[in-house]
Amino acid sequence: MEVIPIPDQFLSVFEKLRDMSVAEYEALLDALNSAGPTMTTAPLERAISTCPAFETSEAAREFAVVFAGLLAMGRQNYLSLDELARGTAASPNVSIPEKDRSLLADRIAGIGTCLSIQVMSRAKDMRDTHERLFHDVRIVTDVRPIFDGDSAESPKAALLRHILNLSYIDDQGTLRSFLVALDEEDLDALELNIEGAREDGSRLKSLLQSAGVSYIGWSEDD
């Protein structure tokens, strides 16, 4: 069995799982199983926050993120869920009697079988395969006066312009941005394409819902 060391910053997550009563652990499984498939942590955070063992939303969020990451690491290393669970439970920095490590392993494996955790972990893998991930966008509008030669008199005309500032995260995790000058026709084209994308998304969601297939969005509110 390959022992999987738990980073110190994540140790509290597994200690919490270790210390849960049977009722608290079952409540956690129920919450995870009731949460729908999601790309993001917010729905899982809300579900886990309803469990008695989690006093803060931050603790619930950390739990979801750590377990999604653990499953991703297991896939990357071609480990079965049982191998991943038992290797993690065998981590030397988890303070637990040896006879109780199998119980911790069973609990880790139980969390790993929850569809909500599995889908979030796999969906993040899929999203992270993109070379660039959108981060933020701003459009700044300003006016530039146009003067007649070197005259200091009132401007003869003015240029209205829009500057699109789009920032993204590259495949190395670096935040980058670029600027694009836009005119009114460009704004119309952007608006038209965004509306078209929303309409296409609505149609596809309806098709998936009709087929009984859960869909995954990339919004924190999904």
Alpha-carbon span 27 to 107, nearest angstrom = 12
Per-residue pLDDT band at 5 (split at 50, 70, 90): confident
74, 84 Cβ separation under 8 angstroms: yes
Measured in degrees and rounded to the nearest 5, phi and psi for residue 126 equal: -65, -45
Residue 11 clears pLDDT 80, i.e. is over it? yes
pLDDT in tens, 153-203: 777 788 888 999 998 877 665 778 999 999 999 999 999 999 999 999 888
Q: What is the pLDDT of residue 150?
A: 65
Strands (E), the chain: 132-146, 157-170, 175-182
Burial class (CB in 10 A: 0-12, 13-18, 19+), 44: buried
- pLDDT of 222 reads 44
218: pLDDT strictly greater than 70 = no
Tell me what the mean pLDDT of segment 26-43 comes to.
Answer: 85
Q: What is the pLDDT of residues 37-84, one digit of tens each?
A: 776 788 889 999 999 899 899 999 999 989 998 998 898 888 999 999
**What band does 128 get if pLDDT is binned at 50, 70 and 90?**
low
Q: How confident is the model at residue 217 (pLDDT cuts 50, 70, 90)?
A: low
Where along the chain do its domains lie? 8-128, 132-210
Q: Does residue 50 contact residue 38 with C-beta atoms inside 8 Å?
A: no
**Model pTM greater than 0.85?**
no
Q: Taking Cα atoms as reference points, which of 62, 64, 65, 112 lies closest to residue 88? A: 112
Dihedral angle over CA of 107, 109, 112, 115, nearest 10: -90
pLDDT of residue 216: 59
